[in-house]
Amino acid sequence: MKQFLIIGILAITLHTVAQNKGIQFHNDTIFENVLAKAKAENKLIFIDCYAVWCGPCKYMDANIFPDEELGKFHNANFINLKYDMEKPYGAIVRKTYGIKAYPSFLYLNGDGEVIHRAVGSTENAADFLKISKLATDSENNFKAVDARITKGDRSAKTINAYLDMNYGAPNADALIEEYFAKTSEQDKLNAESWQLISNHVSSTKSPAFAFFVKNRAEFEKRYGKQEVETYLYNLMAVTRRKDPAAFEAMKSLDAGVFERLQQDIKKREAQRNQK
């Protein structure tokens, strides 16, 4: 209830962002009125949470939101809003709804409750349309998956869906650890477990990562060497930012992937210096 009261006090005075055939973003309104309008029209509220410096946010504006089919669906089912997360009102939205990356997308009901959420740009409008249609699916949207987690569902399918929609979830590590603690050795190697590892295990100290290291050859056999190396590459990049000491230690896991990342970093730094 607190988050609804916080958002309810926001007075937002903006101009209408017109896109001829795409998503029509509404402005010139107070957020309390948006909630009332959503209830009156039986619509959800869609919020594009962006930052002006965010490249993927600009891509969405230029290539995804103007799509005609996407616009038809959004304009019929949502009241569409945009917030710069680094402006005063956007900062309140960011803190209230736990926005941790850009672009993020919120789907709220008329009470300001999160029904669905997503993070990151999509390559095409069709993929984003799938996300928005999922928001209207009361059995599979974020609210439904969150309820299953709350009731104790710890299947890999449910945890994957929950973490896909809830970037930076504070309970992510605990959910993954619980799953791997209760799952058989054989099931830890299945496709849903691999999805959980490759998409959501970002700590070299995780028991799930230890299982991956121990069984790397089997994961490569089942899902391909390239998939495994891509996961290691991305994990090394994340670890380099978070824990330099742990990053150096990762060289022993795969010297080839480690060196490739180092070379890519040097190339990017050289390109920046040339600008």
Evaluate whether 188 touches 207 at the Cβ level (below 8 Å): no
Q: What's the sign of the alpha-carbon dihedral 139, 141, 203, 259?
A: positive
Name the residue with tokens 């028991």. Answer: 207
For 18-83, give the secondary structure using H, E and C.
Answer: CCCCCCCECCCEEHHHHHHHHHHHCCEEEEEEECCCCHHHHHHHHHHCCCHHHHHHHHHHEEEEEE
Residue 54 is among the residues annotated as catalytic for this protein: yes
Run of H or E residues at 11: strand 11-12
Those residues with Cβ within 8 angstroms of residue 97's Cβ, 6 or more apart along the chain or in another chain: 3, 49, 106, 114, 117
Distances (CA, A) of 186 to 193, 194, 211: 10, 12, 12
Measured distance CA(155)–CA(165) in Å, rounded:
16
Pick the catalytic residue: 23, 54, 85, 232? 54
Phi/psi for 138 (5° steps) reads -70, -10
Pick the catalytic residue: 34, 57, 70, 119? 57
List the helix and strand counts (H, then E) for the chain. Answer: 15, 6
Measured distance CA(8)–CA(117) in Å, rounded:
19
- 16 SS3 class: coil
Measured distance CA(7)–CA(112) in Å, rounded:
8
> Which sequence positions are flagged as catalytic?
54, 57
